[in-house]
Structure 1
Amino acid sequence: MKRVKKIFWLTHLVVWVLFILLVGGQLGHDNDVYWLSTTAGFIATCQYVFYSHFFVLTWHTGKRKDKRYWLRLTTIVLTGPVPFLLFRHTPLDFGNYFMHLVSTVPIFLCLSWLARVTENLVLNTIRKEQLEKQAVEAELSYLKSQINPHFLFNTLNNIHTLVYKQAPAAPEAIMHLASLMRYMIYESNAFTVPLVREMDYLQDYMSLQQLRYKNSPVVDLQIEGETASCSIAPLLFIHLLENAYKHSPARLEPGDLKVRVAINEDSLGFCVQNPIGGRSATPLEETGGIGLTNVRKRLSLLYPDQHTLTIRNTGETFTVNLTIHTLYSKVYEPKAHLLDH
């Protein structure tokens, strides 16, 4: 806010300097012996009327114009030409006084009103934008905070089962969880992360889930395209993958879960497919579930009008396709940079 106000005051200064040069140059060419004092008096009158009314309007911003405002305005109108008369070297001339009262004062009253309205409009627009961005930031933080407990609840249940059975894979599972948490706590706070790191995170998750199965890897993961130079909003795919595990049959054969990641020019496609078996026809819409709802809200905030999310149910498989169309465009950052406190 301070930065914006400094810009306004700098604009005032530049305009007044140009105005003074224009008036001084004009009067200086009129061969008036008192052109300097006349210029000073005229500028003093203009500034007195302008800023007196400007600050009166500031005091009454957002308030109804009451008697105090009209009293102050009347005082400014009647005393407006006084600075001009004080700078003149000739006796008091009521003709000149009346002339300035009629011409100069109303003009600069209107200009001060226009300046005050313009400044209020700009500041209110910026405040509104800041509030909207703060609201988006708060909602993103809330949605992100849902990921941790929701993910931990399911994963800790799996580890608890391994520990209860005294499975040799339990220490490995704890190490995988530690790696996942390190990413979630320390690396996912940025607005974007390298796609390579996000895929490492998903593969760690797959490895952790694979401990539940004796078969070969139940996930068939294929990555097409160059991932090294891409960035993505963190923790965007985990809910889709987690739900694929959660809503699949208890026993999975190798390659039953299919995950495809494709980078094509300026777009990124993420597809996850899982068998349904005898489960509900809408597994991701489970009552009380936050997975798909969370993903949709985050996508609408981070990639507005830049993504497509489609869901297809064949009765045997459930497929979710997510496409981000402008991969290399800047992710929407909710923090406002227009206002510096």
Structure 2
Amino acid sequence: MNSTKYFYNKYLIILLHIGVWGLLFISPYLFISGQTSLSNITEHSWIPLLFYIIIFYLNYLLLIKKFIFTKKIFLFILINIIVIGLFVWIKHEYILKMFVDNRPKFSHPIRPSRSFFIYIDSLSMIIPIAFVVALKIGERWLKTEAEKKEIENIKLHSELEHLKYQIQPHFFFNSLNNIYSLVDIAPEKAKETLHSLSKLMRYLLYESNSDKVQLNKEIDFMNKYIELMKLRLTDKTHVHSFLPKVDNSITVPPLLFISIIENAFKHGVSATQESEIDFQMEVNKNVIRFVSKNKNFPKTNSDKSGSGIGMENLNKRLDLLYPNEYIYTSKIIQDQYIVILEFKLN
């Protein structure tokens, strides 16, 4: 894909060069007056333009890369002075004499000196050099910026992969903690939980390896995880989830909501008090909104139910995936801990 894009870009640049020089060659002929001969256009337009082309591409293809970009400025200037001097000499010693010999002789009261024309020709040949230097510096800057962007994209992808793979062992660790809490008090539930965990791990290992997954599969994963977490709850905790059925064409980054759900179960459950946990997702046009609510039961320092790496990773992933293009808020209102995540679907 990149090689094809490079080929087309290079092809377009070549066509652009041919078009510009072709237009410059044709322009004098298009605007020729009845009193201007073709030999006059050749002398004053086409031959100087041919010199400009040689100077332009000598610098464009060789001198700038070899001397300017390697900081050998003196050699670059010296070579160009020699080339300009050579072309001016050729023009005045051979080309102009050829046209003068074939031109009718006219007397003129004031005729500029030959040195004046040499000075003007020399200055005119500096113009393509200045232009090509500016062009090559601009091209190099664009190329450097493109390379920086490519490096940033590679780094971004690596960081996202690292964060995504951190979620898997973190998720597995939290799930094992839940199973451990059930082994003594409810061994049958522990077995059931292990079976559910195997299904979830299958999704983690085989379904979530791509950059995007179908939202309906992610929702199914979330539902299974919520059911798994409910197995260890008492009757004092009520869980409500409203996760919609969506079209198969809608895709999202994998495992983007699971840390919010984990966090709700971590802080929203009490062994002695009544509590409710609510999850709600809305998909409107190209915007997805996920809201989590739970009663806030702050954990003590002795609680080892989680390290908080899940929410930390979520914030990093959001910054990398949707820089300045998402809404993430968490707040406590009347003893309710509320998390809202909203972003646009690509």
Q: TM-score range by the shorter chain?
A: 0.7 to 0.9
Indicate conservation of the 8 Å contact 1:258/1:274, yes or no.
yes
Aligned to 1:148: 168
Partners of 1:103 and 1:134 in 2: CA distance:
47
Work out the CA distance in 2 between the residues paired with 1:9 and 1:269: 48
Per the alignment, residue 177 of structure 1 pairs with 197
Per-residue CA distance 1:62-95 (angstroms, 9 max, x = gap): 4434432232232232223467679949559895
Greater Cα shift, 201-210 or 2-11: 2-11
Distance of aligned partners of 1:287 and 1:233 in 2 relative to their CA distance in 1, 3 Å threshold: closer
Task: State how far apart, in whole Å, the 2-side matches of 1:85 and 1:160 are.
Answer: 96
Aligned to 1:335: none
Task: Tell me which residue corresponds to 2:239.
Answer: 219
Q: Is the 8 A contact 1:53 1:76 kept in 2?
A: no
Using a 3 Å threshold, how does the CA distance of structure 1 residues 14 and 32 change in structure 2: closer, same or farther? Answer: closer
User: AA paired with 2:81?
Assistant: T
Q: Is the 8 A contact 1:217 1:255 kept in 2?
A: yes
For 1:72-87, list aligned pairs within 5 A.
72-81=79-88
Question: CA 1:129–1:87 in structure 2 vs 1: closer, same or farther (change >3 Å)?
Answer: farther
Residue 58, structure 1, aligned to residue 62, structure 2: no
Report the alpha carbon displacement of residue 5 of structure 1 after superposing the two structures with TM: 4.3
Report matched runs for 1:191-230 at 5 Å.
Answer: 191-213=211-233, 215=235, 218-223=238-243, 227-228=246-247, 230=250
1:237 equivalent in alignment to 2:257: yes
SS at match of 1:256: strand
Q: Quote the Cα distance in structure 2 between the aligned partners of 1:255 and 1:278.
A: 13
CA contact (8 A) 2:28 2:41 kept: no
2: CA distance, partners of 1:103 / 1:67: 19
Which sits farther off after the overlay, 270-279 or 200-209?
270-279
> What is the alpha-carbon distance in structure 2 between the residues aligned to residue 75 and residue 164 of structure 1?
93
- The aligned counterpart of 2:16 is 11
1:104-140: CA deviation from partner (whole Å, max 9, x where unpaired): 3122112212321332232233223323333322222
Aligned partners of 2:267 and 2:298 also within 8 Å = no
Measure how far apart 1:205 and its partner are.
Answer: 1.0
> Structure 2 CA distance, aligned partners of 1:158 and 1:237?
19
Structure 1: stretches of 5+ with no match in the other structure: 331-341
Q: Distance in 2 between matches of 1:26 and 1:83?
A: 27
How far 1:203 moved relative to its partner?
Answer: 0.8
What RMSD over aligned residues (CA atoms) do the two structures have, in Å?
Answer: 3.9
Structure 2: 5+ residue stretches without partners = 101-112
Aligned to 2:108: none
**Matches of 2:199 and 2:148, distance apart in 1:** 41
Aligned residue for 2:144?
124
User: Which structure ranks higher in relative contact order (CA pairs < 8 Å, sequence separation ≥ 6)?
Assistant: 1
Q: In the alignment, which residue of structure 1 is the partner of 2:51?
A: 45
1:307 aligns with 2:326: yes
For residues 27 and 172 of structure 2, what CA distance do their matches in structure 1 show? 71
Indicate the residue corresponding to 1:22 in structure 2. Answer: 27
C-alpha separation between the residues in 1 aligned to 2:73 and 2:330? 60
Tell me the number of residue pairs that the alignment of Structure 1 and Structure 2 aligns: 323
Counterpart-to-counterpart distance in 1, 2:252 and 2:135 = 44
Task: Give 2:103's aligned residue.
Answer: none
Distance in 2, Cα, partners of 1:10 & 1:254: 74
Length-normalised TM-score, structure 2: 0.75
In 2, Cα distance between equivalents of 1:144 and 1:205: 17
Q: 2:213, 2:252 within 8 Å by CA — same for their partners in 1?
A: yes
SS of alignment partner, residue 271 of structure 2: coil
Q: Is 2:54 the partner of 1:67? A: no
Aligned-partner Cα distance in 1 for 2:308–2:90: 73
Bigger Rg over Cα: 2
Please say if residues 234 and 271 of structure 2, whose CA atoms lie closer than 8 Å, have aligned partners that are also in contact: no
More helix by share: 2
**Distance across 2 between alignment mates of 1:63 and 1:320:** 55
Give me the TM-score of the superposition, normalised by structure 1: 0.76
Percent of pairs with identical residues: 24
Amino acid aligned to 2:135 = A
Code of the aligned partner of 2:134:
L
Partners of 2:283 and 2:289 within 8 A in 1: yes
**Aligned-pair distance for 1:150?**
1.0
Counterpart CA distance in 1 for 2:52 and 2:138 is 19
* SS, match of residue 202 in structure 2: helix
Q: Provide, for residues 32-63 of structure 1, a one-character-per-residue CA deviation record: whole Å limited to 9, x for no partner.
A: 45866886643431111112222312223544
Q: Secondary structure at the match of 2:187?
A: coil
State the alpha-carbon separation in 2 of the partners of residues 84 and 187 from structure 1: 73
- Do the aligned partners of 1:20 and 1:43 also contact (CA within 8 Å) in 2? yes
Farther-moved stretch of structure 1 (155-164 vs 70-79) = 155-164
Question: Secondary structure of 1:60's match?
Answer: helix
**Distance change (3 Å), C-alpha of 1:22 and 1:83:** farther
